[in-house]
Amino acid sequence: MNPVVYFEIPAIELDRACDFYSKVFEATLTRDVVDGYQMAFFESSDESFGATGALVVGDVYIPSHQGCFLYFGVESIDETVARAVESGGSVLYPKKSNGDLGSVAEIQDTEGNRIALHEEKI
C-alpha cells in the first residue's frame, strides 16, 4: 500500500486555483464545501495508481514553498511547464534528468505553492 492516500493544496482564490490546475494538469475538479471550507477535488479512481486530493481555501490553508512537497506525474514536463506558465505560474527549477528515474521540474502555482513534476523515462 502506498503511504499517501490524500493531499490538500492551499489556495487563496479557489476560482483562480481551479483554473490553473484544470489547465496545467488537464484535470477535472469537483467543488464542494466540507467543514466550512471551500474545496475543489481532483478526479479519483480506485483502479489508478497514486493519491488524490483537493484545492482548499480556509484560514488554516496558507500557500507556501515550505512544508510538504508534492510530485505530480505527467506525460511531458515540457508541455506541462508551458501550460503552467501560460496559466500564470512560473518555473522554479527547470527540467532535469534523473537518469533511469526520468526527469523532474518544479513550478509555482498561481497561489504561491511549490509543486514538482515527474516524467517517467521512456
Would you state the cell numbers that stand for residue 84, as one nine-digit string? Answer: 503552467
Does the domain spanning 6-119 belong to CATH 3.10.180.10? Answer: yes
Query: Cell 508534492 appears where?
Result: 70
pLDDT of residue 97: 96
80-104: per-residue pLDDT in tens? 999 999 999 999 999 999 999 999 9
List Cβ neighbours of 59 (8 Å cut-off, separation of 6 or more): none
Where do the structural domains in the chain lie, given as residue ranges?
6-119
In the predicted model, is pLDDT for residue 2 greater than 80? no
14-72: per-residue pLDDT in tens? 999 999 999 999 999 999 999 999 999 999 888 877 889 999 999 999 999 998 899 99
